[in-house]
Chain A
Amino acid sequence: MKRPIAISDSANFYVSAERIFDLTLKNVPVIVLSNNDGCAIARSDEAKALGIKMGTPLHHIRDKVEAHGIRVFSSNYTLYGDISRRVVEVYEDFTPNVEIYSIDECFLDFAGFKDRTAHAMALRAAVLRRVGVPVRIGIAPTKTLAKCANDIAKKNPIFAGVLDMMDENLARWLLPRVPVGDIWGVGRKTTDKLKALGVHTAADLRDLPIRQARAVGTVVLERIVLELQGEACLAFEDVEPLRKGMAVTRSAGTPMTDCKTRSNIGPRKRLRFAVVAE
């Protein structure tokens, strides 16, 4: 049998971390801002439901914040790092191998566990009880499929936060329902190229001939296709740190309509309006 890999991630991690200590944040819209309080970088489900998109500048949503009583937080990375470390510590009680992928995502070696769903449910309950943040877990024979399972579990409450996609029939049923752009590593440009070729779902991509995949998106896409077929190409602890795209941004917090507003912003901040694109 293929080796099961699980990926666990926290729901709206920064918001969940803030909620540990402030119980009044339960069931209300909460956002956490980027450095310098510029943009919303974490949103509770309630805030997402209000239409606040990832990265929205705070000054664009002032009216919403006011109207709905959205609770707004500056980011506290010391806290998030501490909570992340604690979550990993709980993972380590449930698997011999943990690969930290980002502040809120870890790959977990699930080989050897008989009832993987029950094990994942127990892990989920333990993280919630011991640290206080909710996590979702996807299990599959490859990292790409595990990410996909995690994403499905995230979007469909029926799975109660855990989806074991080791069963091939289940994967065969689910993949046609996943848009190709939701697959880990398939960016917007690749999505457009694939759509032009009639590849719209994860199942379409899985069935794309390998050579064609390589022609469209180099060895990277070829690997994704193989991973979707259930062939592990990304070994445990073999992934380079995520390239989500990086930006250094500064915004003033208030619209800059005249010179006075502009000069009220300190020189250090003003100098750092540059955006670094990757």
Chain B
Amino acid sequence: MPVYPVDEPVHIPSQSVRIVSTPVSAGFPSPAGDDLEDEIDPMAWVVRHPASTFWWRVEGDCLWDAGIRDGDIIAVDRAGKRRIGRAVLAVVDGAVTAKILRKRGDRYYLAPANSQEQFPDVELTEDSEIWGVIAGVVRRYDLA
């Protein structure tokens, strides 16, 4: 699935959000909800290395099973470790694509993660390059 750089560098003013210690279960709110315990900066939580994290916009659903969908904005960390099974941003023939890094035998592959649709695996060759590791995803939903 193609990925595009987010035009303007994304600058998020660091902002802490108080979180409720109880996990959000889709049910009746816990009476202990007043018991605010921790503070978290959601961006700092995703972006562990500000110098090496870049934001890209995703097009397509080939990483649906990995929780990444069409229109999402993903944080990609160039300093992240390229481990097998991780979602990565790769460059194949000059085109940027988001895939899962896989290994079969001695060969490395870029594989999709979508059980609904069939996308082909791409073998990682000398001409392709892992640009970075996907560090997180930001998505918003319609409110209108």
Residues of A within 8 A of B (CB): 20-24, 78-79, 82, 86-87, 89-90, 129-132
Output the residue of B8, B50, B78, B96 with the most chain A CB within 10 A.
Answer: B78
Cβ–Cβ contact B8 & A89, under 8 A: no
Cβ–Cβ contact B51 & A89, under 8 A: yes
A129 to B49 Cα, complex, angstroms? 12
CB distance from A76 to the nearest CB of B (A): 9
A90 to B5 Cα, complex, angstroms? 22
Cβ–Cβ contact B51 & A90, under 8 A: yes
13 inter-chain pairs at a CB distance below 8 angstroms, sorted by A residue, are A23-B129, A23-B131, A78-B8, A86-B52, A90-B52, A129-B52, A129-B78, A129-B79, A130-B49, A130-B52, A130-B78, A130-B79, A131-B52
**Prevailing SS type, chain B contact patch:** mixed
A159 to B5 Cα, complex, angstroms? 34
C-beta contact mask, B108-144 vs A, less than 8 Å → 1, else 0? 0000000000000000000001010000000000000
Cβ–Cβ contact A79 & B79, under 8 A: no
Closest to A92 in B: B51
Answer yes or no: B9 CB below 8 A from chain A CBs: yes
Residues of chain A with a CB closer than 8 A to B49's CB: 130
Cβ–Cβ contact B9 & A130, under 8 A: no
CB distance from B47 to the nearest CB of A (A): 12
Closest to A89 in B: B51
Output the residue of A89, A129, A130, A132 with the most chain B CB within 10 A.
Answer: A130
Closest to B128 in A: A23
Cβ–Cβ contact A21 & B5, under 8 A: yes
Known: A130-B78, A131-B78. A86 touches B51 (CB 8 A): yes
Closest to B129 in A: A23
Residues of chain A with a CB closer than 8 A to B94's CB: 22-24
CB distance from A73 to the nearest CB of B (A): 13
Residues of chain A with a CB closer than 8 A to B129's CB: 23
Residues of chain B with a CB closer than 8 A to A132's CB: 78
Residues of chain B with a CB closer than 8 A to A78's CB: 8-9
A23 to B132 Cα, complex, angstroms? 13
